[in-house]
Amino acid sequence: MMRPQFLSRVVALLILTAVGNLSAQTNGPRSLAGLVLSETPALDAAPDLAAWRNLHANERLKTAAYDNEYESQGLWCAASVADVALPGGVRTTRLAFFYTPPGKHGVALPARQDTGLVQQCRLLALWYEVHDPEDPGGLAKSVSGELAASLGSAEEASRFKRTDGDWGSGYWNPYLAWERANRRVVLAVDPGSAAFDPNAQPRRPTRLLVIARASLAPRGLSFDWSGEFPKGQPSLEEAAVRLAALGPEISATMLAPGGSPESLIRWVEAAEGLPRKRKAAALVLADLIVSTAPFALRADFMTTPLGKRLIQLGAGPHTWRSQAEQMDPTGAAGEIARVAHVENPCAFDDGHNNWQDGLINFGEKLLRDFPVSRWKSYIHLTLARTYTAKLILTYPDIDLNGANRPTDPEALRRNAIAHFRAFLVEENREAPEAGIAWREAWRLLAGLPPSPIPFACTD
């Protein structure tokens, strides 16, 4: 029986052998398809960047940056770049993309910030580019024929079924995809500027692309967050209903999916004679409903008789929530109102997309005022995201959308890491957001740019 230490050495040797065979073949293939087929098995071994660099020391290292095209690859942290000359005058650039390690249950975050952590990122995607081929269509046909001989028939996806989310891929033609259990390979021609304006400057070249991704390669963006409540937190609505205590029948109608304006009107009218703290809870729930219910989101609703009645009862842009905060500032209803407030980022905007500072100040005070709140960890998560969103603005290639550029990136990074750690306590290890939060905190600890957050407060 192999001892664990010996077994780990065998596994490491097998991975290095696979990568080593790949290294020996880099200049061997006689065609682009041959190069692709010789390299893609490395995706199964998923070597880390350190192992790859040991065997590909002459390749250029591309550090993660905010690039529309490659950022759509997901959570990559580095790319190893090689220029390969193939027979027939074909020259291709190959980028080997390495991604942050997966956050597994029970795996602690690194103890401290360390840029050397990037060496642990693992290979999950390979991207090949041939710039300005003489005959793009002919080269695509040749490469697809060779790939098909090994991978079988390709699917030709329409522009509306290209789920990888690559930047500009709707204009790629042809677009061929081979889907396998452990990886996906795409062959496409990007027309570049020719798709829009051939005379545009700077000119974007026509490219033949082959993109191979392991099935574990993350796609899209790190956080699906536009200000809505985190998926795993205790329900604010249920907490408010219990505090208001207006009876089971009317409470059930308020918690029913979709809701109705008639139920909301009855609820607010019933709350009029309640004691101060219970009334505050009722108003919090009314505000939560009127902010999200489909009927209230219709552009003309407030001009209808039911809408006008709600206005008479005080409905407005979070007016009920503001009243609840004032009526019970340190009590349970005020707590719910303030948690709802902190998860509405644009409520803190100054009109120029500068919402982060207001939310940070409000959220930090909320934690001080309610140190044992059952929403505490999710307040930490919201603050971690907000510090991260502000850190993104310190990078030079980011469109500020009117916001001010912060000048304290290291303090923002430290604060974001601290709040991510506070969220990733034991009871949240299985939370829906835990994996994403772990990976994002790991990126920050490794000195990497945060994953982009597609969020801005606009008129």
- CA distances for 173 relative to 34, 115, 156, 183, angstroms: 22, 40, 10, 21
What whole-number distance in Å separates Cα of residue 343 and Cα of residue 346?
9
User: Which residue do the tokens 């697809």 mark?
Assistant: 144
Report the Cα 299 to chain-centroid distance in Å: 30
Domains of the chain, residue spans: 26-214, 231-342, 349-459
Assigned token pair, 146: 């060779």
Helix (H, G, I), strand (E, B) or coil at 175: strand
Radius of gyration of the chain (CA): 27
Encoding tokens for residue 94? 């190959």
| Whether residue 359 has pLDDT greater than 90 | yes
- Residue 355, sorted as left (phi over 0), alpha (psi -120 to 50) or beta, turns out to be alpha
pTM, 2 dp: 0.85
Query: End-to-end alpha-carbon separation of the chain, Å?
Result: 67
| CB contact burial 21-44 (16+ within 10 A = b; e otherwise) | ebbeebeebebbbbbbbbbbebbe
Which pair of structure tokens corresponds to residue 372? 């044992």
Structure tokens at 93: 């650039």
Render pLDDT for 399-458 as a digit per residue (tens, 0 to 9): 777 788 888 999 999 999 999 999 988 667 777 788 888 989 999 999 999 987 766 776
Nearest CA among 100, 106, 102 for reference residue 429: 106
Token pair belonging to 397: 């290639």
Separation CA 234–CA 381 (nearest Å)? 14
Distance CA 129, CA 69 (A): 13
Q: Give me the pLDDT at residue 204, please.
A: 80
pLDDT digits (tens, 9 = 90+) for 306-343: 989 999 999 888 999 999 999 999 999 999 999 999 98
Taking residues 185-210, what's their average pLDDT?
83
pLDDT of residue 28: 64
**What are the residues facing 80 on neighbouring strands?**
61, 96
Q: 262-298: per-residue pLDDT in tens?
A: 999 999 999 999 999 999 999 999 999 988 888 888 8
Q: What is the pLDDT of residue 71?
A: 59
CA distance 237 to 282: 10
* Residue in this structure with the two tokens 């692709």, named with its chain if needed: 36
Which amino acid is residue 25, in one-letter code? Q
- C-alpha neighbours within 13 Å on the C-beta side of residue 145: 7
Residue bearing tokens 């596994």: 11
Contact, 281 vs 336, CB < 8 A?
A: yes
Reduced to 3 states, what is the DSSP secondary structure of residue 177?
strand
